[in-house]
Amino acid sequence: MIVERLLHPPYTVLVMDLKKFERDKIIEGFRRRGAHVWKFSGDLDPELEVESFIASTYGGYVYVLRFKGETYLARAEERIRGKDWGEPGSYFVRDENGLKRFLLRELSLKSKLLLDIPSALIWMAIGLGIMSRIEENPVGSFLLIFLGFFFNDIAKVLEYLILGYCKA
């Protein structure tokens, strides 16, 4: 919540695992609520498919809908919720380049591996910084225990600024 107020993201991406629901009913519900739904086929180059999805749709909410063996992308002006869907994975995205990177990460295994490396490097740098402070100052390590949740928010802000997206 603090990160959202600080960053004011233009896009929110929700990743939903809907394998136990009927695909046609969910997609029809999204369309009735004004969302543009796109089936990700994977036949073309994933980057080309993501670019065409971004260029041909509009809205601040982007959905990755995962069904049994199929993935759909949807984009809408308002947040769409379902009673039994559970809590989706929510991400903040800074701009269209960040949106493209995030969708490629979600849809392509090769891209996921390439795009998760910077995130891992950010966490390693934060971890090394914390470890160097703990060795020098025992009082600092005591404070880290109580102030540790701020490091998560700092890491989210760094991911948002460097990668263009972060977990909400």
Structure tokens at 89: 């994975």
pLDDT tens digits along 105-121: 888 777 777 777 877 88
Q: pTM for this structure?
A: 0.77
Answer yes or no: is pLDDT of 15 > 60. Answer: yes
Answer yes or no: is pLDDT of 150 > 80. Answer: no
Distance CA 21, CA 85 (A): 9
> DSSP state, 69?
T
Distance CA 106, CA 167 (A): 13
Phi then psi for residue 99, to 5 deg, are -65, -40
Distance CA 102, CA 80 (A): 20
pLDDT tens digits along 153-162: 777 887 888 7
Residue extents of the structural domains in the chain: 2-167
Which pLDDT score, from 0 to 100, does residue 40 have? 87
